[in-house]
Structure 1
Amino acid sequence: MCLLFFMSAMLALAGCQVEQHAVEVETAVASTPVPALLPTAEPTANTTPVSSPTASPVLAFATVEQTLLARYASASPTKWGERVPGVQTRLQTKNKVIALTFDACGGKDGSGYDEKLIQYLIQEQIPATLFINARWMAANPSTFQSLAANPLFEIENHGTEHRPLSVTGKPAYGIAGTKSVKEVIHEMNDNADQIEKLTGKRPLFFRSGTAFYDEIAVAVAHDLGFAIAGYSVLGDAGATYNTEQVYNAISKATSGSIVLAHMNHPEKDTAEGVIKAIPVLQQAGFHFVQLASMELND
């Protein structure tokens, strides 16, 4: 289940940059502590893996986790927000393509399913990237499996507890962030494990609850092999926009835009706004792509 995780983690710790497509390697990361990231440094990965093909997945993960805990033990973040270095917010293209991304946040008031929105995408054959939280999967198991089986939809990682990604517990929109490097690791990895277990495919991208990060958390994500998917178009503002606001936001997307909206609030107006905006964009010559099919940049 965790094979791709260890492949990606070992690549990152060997100094390779995060790519949009997974690269396979069969090595494990050494447990030797490495220098902590300086507070003003950009996210980097510069350790050298040591081959250990006989290590069990559990032991290999423990080794990776301990390595990262040692690496960032004395690192202090200086940045906080949706667009810290390493958060990728646009497609790298000059073509008229747009990525529609929809979050499913889960939780007491966030585990609904906007069937109208999804059925429209299926009917019109519009590809999209779905960022799924562990709580939403648990509440909607059959729906999740149906979505994951549909090639129109790319399944990506929206976290285990839907928390802002921080090493100090910093909140966003009233939601408490992860409080340590260890919590950062498990917010990403535990949900990735569950998605991989259910679909056979490990997610490539991560988006935190609230889409807020500090730069240390972003560096940890890269070391684990995840790309951080931000956005350039706020499509529904956490499903609070009305139909016209959703339409106005999405219809103004440009070449390379990543649109962020939600698929877990059927009682809101996201579906109506999306359904109104997509034909306008198509008439303007745009078509839609999944994140994994493109290169991204900041």
Structure 2
Amino acid sequence: MIPPVRRIAAACALAATLAACGTSGAPEPAHHAPAKPTASPSPTRPPVLAPGPGGLTPVFEHGPRTLGKTVALTFDADMTADEGPRAAAGEHFDNPDLIGALRALKVPATIFMTGRWAEQYPAQARSLGHDPQFEVANHSYSHYAFTADCYGLPTVGADHMRQDVERAYAALRQAGVPRPLPYFRFPGGCYDRQALRALQGVGVTAVQWDVISGDAFATDADAVVEQVLNGVKPGSVVVMHCTRSAAPTTERVVRAVVPELRKRGYRFAKVSELIAETNGRR
């Protein structure tokens, strides 16, 4: 049981609660490593941030505060490497009605998808990957933590971190996502210098958030709506989830939040647009 929405204090904790933990340990080795995403923005490729000091993987939390009222809604498609039996028993880790609501409301969004989710729902992954309204990014293959003590998640060893990310890209492409973006969201939002160093050769920008919605396991949609509306600022990145069993109110939240933010003058954007604005490309 997680605490009520209003009492969540850390972004990492909420995102991490979506994973039902299995045995600890690294995921199985990838058999086919995908082509690495580019680390150099160009007119035909998504923008990324420049590496941090010492070449560390850069971290993005929100866009500029001074370039107008723009907000990015992001959704984590979570499924851990060991949750296959639960899906086979009928648990729904997808949320087609939420995606339908986003399409009906014409809201662009960024979906951070685990490789295991893409394997479980390849038709949905392919549909999202081919829809220009959405962009699909990497949320690891296993949804195991990249740091120790990340709210009970099993952990990936430092020597398997890059492999886990590359395995996710392979799974996304195998499911039919033609161009998964060079953006990575750490499971649970947990990372440290070791994790940033382990991924520095992959060419990704790590994407966090500055507004946590509180939709995980929430039953009071109005409380989640209030938390989002109170937190959004120009350039904000909002984290939500598209997992029916673990975030059952999210569709209702989106249907309430979107018109209200538009009424307040906000425009919805993908993460790639906020990163481009941060880079001064817009």
Q: What's the TM-score once normalised by structure 1's chain length? A: 0.69
Q: Is residue 2:49 matched to residue 1:92?
A: no
Deviation of 1:221 (Å): 2.3
**Larger CA deviation: 188-197 vs 236-245:** 236-245
AA in 2 matched with 1:255: P
Q: Which residue of 262, 267, 270 maps to 1:287?
A: 267
The offset of 1:20, in angstroms, is 5.2
Among 177, 183, 186, the alignment partner of 1:199 is 177
CA deviation map 1:160-196 (0-9, x unaligned): 1001213xxx03121022122x211112111022224
In the alignment, the residues of structure 2 paired with residue 6 and residue 164 of structure 1 have an alpha-carbon distance, to the nearest angstrom, of 22
Q: Which has the higher Rg, Structure 1 or Structure 2? A: 1
5+ long unaligned stretches in structure 1: 12-18, 24-41, 47-84
Q: Is the 8 A contact 1:156 1:206 kept in 2?
A: yes
Are 2:97 and 2:251, in contact at CA under 8 Å, matched by a contact in 1? yes
Q: Percent identity?
A: 21
Stretches of structure 2 that go unaligned for 5 or more consecutive residues are 1-31
Opposite residue 277 of structure 1, the aligned amino acid is V
Q: How many residues align?
A: 229
Correspondence 1:212 to 2:167: no
Q: 1:238-257 counterparts in 2 under 5 A?
A: 238-240=216-218, 242-252=220-230, 253-257=232-236
- Offset of residue 241 of structure 1: 5.7
Relative to structure 1, the CA distance from residue 262 to residue 176 in structure 2 (aligned partners, 3 Å threshold; closer, same or farther) is same
Whole-Å Cα distance in 1 between the matches of residues 100 and 157 of structure 2? 38
For the pair 1:258 / 2:237, whether they are aligned, the reply is yes
CA distance in 2, matches of 1:43, 1:164: 23
| Per-residue Cα deviation, 1:1-42 (whole angstroms, up to 9, x for no partner) | 96751754xx7xxxxxxx95279xxxxxxxxxxxxxxxxxx6
- 1:5 matches 2:36: yes
Partner of 1:184: 161
1:104 pairs with 48, 69, 77, which one? 77
Report the Cα offset of residue 111 of structure 1. Answer: 4.9
The 8 Å contact of residues 117 and 275 in structure 1, kept in 2 or not, is answered as: no
Q: Residue 115 of structure 1: CA displacement?
A: 1.9
The residue type equivalent to 1:155 in the other structure is V
- Superposition pairs for residues 1-298 of structure 1, below 5 Å? 4-5=35-36, 7-8=38-39, 21=47, 43-45=53-55, 86-94=58-66, 95-107=68-80, 108=83, 111-166=92-147, 170-180=148-158, 182-197=159-174, 198-240=176-218, 242-252=220-230, 253-265=232-244, 268-295=248-275
Structure number with greater CO (CA < 8 Å, separation at least 6) is 2
Q: Supply the distance in 1 between the matched residues of 2:149 and 2:156 (Cα, whole angstroms).
A: 9
Contact kept? 2:119, 2:171, Cα under 8 Å = no
Matches of 1:7 and 1:127 in 2, distance apart?
23
Does the 8 Å CA contact 2:48/2:275 hold for their aligned counterparts? no
Cα distance in 2 between the residues matched to 1:141 and 1:3: 17
2: distance between equivalents of 1:220 and 1:238? 29
Gap change, CA 1:43 and 1:224, over 3 Å in 2: farther
Q: For 2:199, what is the secondary structure of its paired residue?
A: helix
